[in-house]
Structure 1
Amino acid sequence: MTRQYIDCREYPSDTHCSVAISADTPKELLEAAVQHAVTVHGHEDTPELRHQLVSLFKPGTPPMEMPAARTL
């Protein structure tokens, strides 16, 4: 299975979060991303949040340089 990641640096926030999370399985990545979104960003753990996070997963590992910011 291909490693996947999600990178907070791609999405502007008041906290200027620089966390990037990667994992070998989508399930493991989702659980870590949900925990981060709830604990750090104050989101509620809902099916909608989980669906949105999964849609942001990318194959591979996070880049060393800061990626261009996107809007949600």
Structure 2
Amino acid sequence: MDRLYIDCREFPSETNCTVAICADTERELLEAAVQHAVAVHGHTDTPELRSQIASGMKHGTPPEQAPAQHAMASEAL
């Protein structure tokens, strides 16, 4: 089974967050990433946030080296 991940290092943030989250399913990853975005980054759990997070999911595992950052429509995770 292919793992999925989302990596905060890809998104600009005031805290320069280095957290990467992995899971086996999109649902599990989405829930964990939303919890992280709300608890750590102060975001509100909205359909828009969930959509942005889902669009940032990738297959595999996060790289050791920090990936290049790109801007999200809203703020970073």
Normalised by the size of structure 1, how large is the TM-score? 0.96
Gaps of 5+ in 2: 73-77
In the alignment, which residue of structure 2 is the partner of 1:46? 46
Structure 1 unaligned segments of length 5 or more: list them: none
Q: Which amino acid aligns with 1:29?
A: L
Matched, 1:28 2:56: no
Q: Distance in 1 between matches of 2:70 and 2:34?
A: 19
Segments of 4+ in structure 1 off by > 2 A?
none
Q: What is the deviation of 1:43?
A: 0.3
Q: CA RMSD in A?
A: 0.7
Deviations 1:9-62 (A, max 9, x none): 011111000000000000000000000000000000011111110010000000
SS of aligned partner of 1:40: helix
Identity over aligned residues, as a percent? 67
Amino acid at match of 1:36: H
Distance 1:50 1:43 in 2: 11
Instruction: Report deviation, 1:71.
Output: 1.1
Aligned residues: 72
Cα distance, 1:2 vs structure 2: 1.6
Which structure 2 residues correspond to residues 1-72 of structure 1 after superposition, within 5 A?
Answer: 1-72=1-72
